[in-house]
Structure 1
Amino acid sequence: MTDTTTRTAQAKPVGRRALLKLTGAGAAALTAGSLFNISNAEARTMETQTMTTEWDKTFPKSPNVDHQKIRFKNRYGITLAGDLYLPKNHADKRLAALAVGGPFGAVKEQSSGLYAQTMAERGFAALAFDASYTGESGGEPRNIASPDINTEDFSAAVDFLGLHPSVDRERIGIIGICGWGGMALNAAAVDKRVKAVVASTMYDMTRVMSKGYNDSVTLEQRTQMLEQLSRQRWADAADGKSAYQSRYNELKGDEAQFLVDYHDYYMTPRGYHARAVNSGNAWTRTTPLSFMNMPLLTYIKEISPRPVLLIHGEKAHSRYFSETAFAAAGEPKELMIIPGASHVDLYDRTDVIPLDKLHSFFEQHLR
């Protein structure tokens, strides 16, 4: 049973110490001195990463789906890597298609791949892809993000799907998970080829990086962080390479529960993947810069009249992101609250993810 009404949620405040711990869902705002007290992480520097031929997903391969590893380029010339899932025995039928991205700092072998394969089992062509500069996709320096480039990554996936012989290009939707929920909404607003959009357990990465959790960062703290990030550019330019943040999701004790939840997904056999930024790797120190003054949801109303479905856990620390997006979006829209679910539950718990709802939503709106 799900609650599809929207209510104002007063999220439990996150302490300053927890706020400063960077998580796999995104960097909270950093206060003075923190950027220069973190270590470098190793970074791969190949423009185009080698694509493995092995099944190295965090979920089992479905016998009801055909799988193919593919490459395509975005508008900036970066080569992206993806996994294309097609239902078996679809013959010459043109299929409705879905592009699936996220979470922020994850790879296609994790949550997005699970969503994509599951939707292919239900009759859709589905493409899970690695964001620019991450996973098996190209771009350097490694492990850097941008709200603009990552929004473009979604549109590039739509480019690929619209040219595929098994896809009906007039029936393409997108799914964004966690931090890629905000990217998906931004992509749908600007890319009119997208006919329907779902954001699951959504983060607005521009909001959390510029304002911190629950918008708790003061102007003074924001100014301090921008001062540090600006000066880090000089350090990187002098070194001729990017410096990296501390490794993600390594617990030291006394973390907030949502940080423990991230660790339990990204750092255990449940969801660990060596290529994921969140699985003990790191973003560049200057990654937050491009998120600081580019609000992703500025034009969310322009998705209308195409439908928006927001899915979030009742107990998720991030629930307020979906509630804000729901309030701002135009019609038709729906906010689906999953009783008892946490943020990370919607990454991979197929008994919690409302798969029937995803199916019916896209079946209705990609006709």
Structure 2
Amino acid sequence: MPMNTPDTKNSASVIHRRELLKLTGAGVAAFGAVSISNPFKAKAQNMSKQWDKVFPLSDKIDHEKITFKNRYGITLSGDLYLPKDRAGGRLPALAVGGPFGAVKEQSSGLYAQTMAERGFVALAFDPSYTGESGGEPRNLASPDINTEDFSAAVDYLGLHAAVDRERIGVIGICGWGGMALNAVAADKRVKAVVASTMYDMTRVMSKGYNDSVTPEQRAQTLEQLGRQRWTDAENGAPAYQPPYNDLHGGEAQFLVDYHDYYRTPRGYHARAVNSGNSWTQTTPLSFMNMPILTYIAEISPRPILFIHGEKTHSRYFSETAFAAAAEPKELMIIPGASHTDLYDKVDVIPFDKLTSFFNQHLAA
């Protein structure tokens, strides 16, 4: 997220940088983003009882709305998908999270339901402070707490009567791909992990796209975020960034792609941060000094599968993480695919590969 410094002279560059900043939220203070009201206060105990996913319910699975608590005492809301024709034995299970700014009714739920059709117990969940999960203030992210959310999902799955706790895997999508890798590096209970169309949110928020932020720009961002804390403390509530994924013309293609998913019937969900809601202005603070992939090599000897589209702005996240990871590891590049193609296009997402990967590495 390159910063728009006061002496920037290239107006085209300013517009481009502005749009990148809106995506990650790291430089909102630099643009004087106004405070907007918290769009909703959905809590886990107020979970919708209606099928409100952006994908149809499969007749091959059983579905349950569930809740569980993380180590910080926050109640998380999840959708549990189980194979309908399961036998009495315990099954392998998957915890599924992401993308960053999405809810379980979107991409993670689609992945979870599809994997349940293929024989896995799969749990898609809303991260802390978002969707139907608890936590105040709303629409806040934390690399520590959101990493913990994955391990809390593993807690839940390991106690479920239908699950073999020695056969649990994780799928992280987009920004939760990085969170998933961080969680699995520390949580040795997880036997295999997939990172699909992965973002390292700590890297992009602290260094910008393609690591383009200068030390001076980083210092300016931290100065502005620190002063925003005083404003929030004085007001007794956080300020929020402008609505996410609005288009005004001239945006980079990947921003158009985000809009096409989050702001159209294809993927819109009222509770999603990215569907016209917003993160708190100070959300980037906890990401600035927290490189979550530092210990990625410690996932070994458990396997990692990276999946990324060929034609994506984010491909370098998976490629550099793959290089830093230890064997066994695999990087699968999907020809012609964009970043958001791997959110919901079932003819592009390599579900056969996901199935064979977890069948192999979560074998009884």
Q: TM-score range by the shorter chain?
A: over 0.9
DSSP 3-state at the match of 2:30: coil
Conserved? CA contact 2:341–2:348, under 8 Å: yes
Deviations, residues 168-209 of structure 1 (Å, cap 9, x unaligned): 000000000000000000000000001000000000000000
1:71-220 superposed matches below 5 A: 71-220=67-216
- Of 24, 27, 35, 1:27 maps to 24
1:70 corresponding residue in structure 2: 66
Conserved? CA contact 2:42–2:133, under 8 Å: no
Partner letter of residue 33 of structure 1?
Answer: A
- Of 47, 52, 71, 2:48 maps to 52
Conserved? CA contact 2:44–2:77, under 8 Å: no
Conserved? CA contact 2:42–2:132, under 8 Å: no
Unmatched tracts of structure 2, length 5 or more: 1-11
Question: Under a length normalisation based on structure 2, what TM-score does the superposition of the two structures give?
Answer: 0.94
DSSP 3-state at the match of 2:284: helix
CA distance in structure 2 between the partners assigned to 1:174 and 1:37 by the alignment: 36
Q: Percent identity?
A: 76
Partner letter of residue 224 of structure 1?
Answer: Q
Q: How many residues align structurally?
A: 352
- Of 356, 359, 362, 1:363 maps to 359
Task: Please state how far the C-alpha of 1:324 moved relative to its aligned partner.
Answer: 0.5
CA distance in structure 2 between the partners assigned to 1:19 and 1:130 by the alignment: 30
CA distance in structure 2 between the partners assigned to 1:112 and 1:37 by the alignment: 30
CA distance in structure 1 between the partners assigned to 2:214 and 2:195 by the alignment: 28
DSSP 3-state at the match of 1:21: helix
Decide whether aligned partners of structure 1 residues 281 and 23 sit closer, same or farther in structure 2, where only a CA change above 3 A counts. Answer: farther
CA distance in structure 2 between the partners assigned to 1:151 and 1:119 by the alignment: 22
2:350 corresponding residue in structure 1: 354
Question: Under a length normalisation based on structure 1, what TM-score does the superposition of the two structures give?
Answer: 0.93
2:5 corresponding residue in structure 1: none
Conserved? CA contact 2:21–2:27, under 8 Å: no
DSSP 3-state at the match of 1:278: coil
CA distance in structure 1 between the partners assigned to 2:322 and 2:332 by the alignment: 10
Conserved? CA contact 1:309–1:333, under 8 Å: yes
CA distance in structure 2 between the partners assigned to 1:32 and 1:266 by the alignment: 24
Partner letter of residue 44 of structure 1?
Answer: F
CA distance in structure 1 between the partners assigned to 2:339 and 2:21 by the alignment: 13
Conserved? CA contact 2:28–2:241, under 8 Å: no
Task: Please state how far the C-alpha of 1:16 moved relative to its aligned partner.
Answer: 4.8
Decide whether aligned partners of structure 1 residues 32 and 58 sit closer, same or farther in structure 2, where only a CA change above 3 A counts. Answer: closer
Decide whether aligned partners of structure 1 residues 46 and 272 sit closer, same or farther in structure 2, where only a CA change above 3 A counts. Answer: closer
Decide whether aligned partners of structure 1 residues 23 and 137 sit closer, same or farther in structure 2, where only a CA change above 3 A counts. Answer: farther
- Of 217, 236, 239, 1:221 maps to 217
User: Which gives a bigger RCO, structure 1 or 2 (Cα 8 Å, sep 6+)?
Assistant: 1
Partner letter of residue 327 of structure 2?
Answer: E
DSSP 3-state at the match of 1:37: coil
Conserved? CA contact 1:309–1:334, under 8 Å: yes
Task: Please state how far the C-alpha of 1:47 moved relative to its aligned partner.
Answer: 5.5
CA distance in structure 1 between the partners assigned to 2:167 and 2:107 by the alignment: 23
Runs of 4+ in 1 over 6 A off after TM superposition: none
Unmatched tracts of structure 1, length 5 or more: 1-13
CA distance in structure 2 between the partners assigned to 1:111 and 1:243 by the alignment: 28
Q: CA RMSD in A?
A: 1.5
Deviations, residues 228-276 of structure 1 (Å, cap 9, x unaligned): 0011110000000011000000101110000000000000000000000
Task: Please state how far the C-alpha of 1:92 moved relative to its aligned partner.
Answer: 1.4
2:290 corresponding residue in structure 1: 294
CA distance in structure 2 between the partners assigned to 1:49 and 1:319 by the alignment: 38
Partner letter of residue 167 of structure 1?
Answer: V
Decide whether aligned partners of structure 1 residues 31 and 95 sit closer, same or farther in structure 2, where only a CA change above 3 A counts. Answer: closer
Task: Please state how far the C-alpha of 1:132 moved relative to its aligned partner.
Answer: 0.1
Decide whether aligned partners of structure 1 residues 31 and 44 sit closer, same or farther in structure 2, where only a CA change above 3 A counts. Answer: closer
Partner letter of residue 253 of structure 1?
Answer: G
Conserved? CA contact 2:108–2:173, under 8 Å: yes
CA distance in structure 2 between the partners assigned to 1:94 and 1:304 by the alignment: 26
CA distance in structure 2 between the partners assigned to 1:162 and 1:23 by the alignment: 39
CA distance in structure 2 between the partners assigned to 1:165 and 1:273 by the alignment: 32
DSSP 3-state at the match of 2:179: helix
Decide whether aligned partners of structure 1 residues 241 and 341 sit closer, same or farther in structure 2, where only a CA change above 3 A counts. Answer: same
Deviations, residues 30-87 of structure 1 (Å, cap 9, x unaligned): 27731x2334142434654510000000000000000000000000000000000000
